[in-house]
Amino acid sequence: MRGNPRRTVAIVIALVVVLAVIGVVAYRAGRSHSATTPPSPSPTTQPSTLSPGPSDPSTAASPSPSSTPQPGLQRGTAAAGGGGRTTGPDGLPLGFPDTPDGAATAATNYLMWLNSFRITDKAKADAMAQAAAADTTARTALIHSCDEIRSGMHGLTADQLQPARGAYAVANYSRTDATIYVWAPEVTTETDGTTTQLWAIDAVRVVWAGGDWKLGGELIAKVGGAASDPADTAGNPTSAEKRAILTKVPSDPGDITDSADQTWFEYANAAR
């Protein structure tokens, strides 16, 4: 009996397919036993895309507070205890220029010499009054002033005005007449050693006579007080402290009611 050729071909094809499937399965099984597990990918750090937020005001640095120092008095050219071209009795400075500071220097020095323990010697006091007076009328008034001041020095061993620690103002000025305010301590020492520092403002009037600034009458024309004494009455107030005191209106101004309106200066030889 002869076989069917189509059937034979079909059987052959089927066998080929079966063998191919078996080969694929065997290949995959072999790879599963030889392959290594690949390492897990390392995590990568992603760059931040967040914008920085506003600074925290609670942690922000606070600016240091700034303070503007209070300006002090300008230093003038008047010198307490000097400045004259010549000297008179007991070293009294004489011979001052015809300028506002010349008038201020003259007034200050007359006050220092004629309102001090020097005048306990009447002969010296009268001689200084003669040298400082503008005329005979002024000389008589000055001698009277010195006699009165001397009467209040009983029981003292020292009495000296110290203007270099204070300040001065040219209250009025012309080429022939000037009024000078002097704010300074008068330092007195009693026989028991007690020392007193009395701060006050003295008004001194000088006139231009005989080529110099001279006293036109009594030594002290008016007396007043500043708004307060320095914090340390025995010390040397700073320029700023002087300004703070002298630019305030005093509650008890005495006879000088315009001290706060003046332009005050430190002396050229201001104490420090």
Judge whether residue 145 has pLDDT over 50: yes
Other CB atoms within a 10 A radius of the CB of residue 217 amount to 20
Other CB atoms within a 10 A radius of the CB of residue 82 amount to 15
Across 169-197, average pLDDT:
97
Judge whether residue 40 has pLDDT over 60: no
Please write the tens of the pLDDT for every residue from 78-126: 999 999 999 999 999 999 999 999 999 999 999 999 999 999 999 999 9
Please write the tens of the pLDDT for every residue from 188-210: 999 999 999 999 999 999 999 99
**What pLDDT is attached to residue 157?**
97
What is the rounded average pLDDT for all residues in the chain? 83
Confidence band (pLDDT; 50, 70, 90) for 70? low
Contact between residue 267 and residue 78 where contact means Cβ atoms under 8 Å apart: yes
Closest CA to 121 of 94, 95, 89, 80: 89
CA 223 to chain centre: 29
Contact between residue 128 and residue 113 where contact means Cβ atoms under 8 Å apart: yes
Domains of the chain by start residue, with CATH: 74-266 (3.10.450)
Across 233-261, average pLDDT:
97
Contact between residue 172 and residue 123 where contact means Cβ atoms under 8 Å apart: no
Instruction: State what percent of residues in the chain have pLDDT above 90.
Output: 73
Judge whether residue 54 has pLDDT over 70: no
Judge whether residue 39 has pLDDT over 60: no
Contact between residue 173 and residue 262 where contact means Cβ atoms under 8 Å apart: no
**What pLDDT is attached to residue 27?**
37
Cα 75 from Cα 131, distance rounded (Å):
29
**What pLDDT is attached to residue 242?**
98
Other CB atoms within a 10 A radius of the CB of residue 261 amount to 10
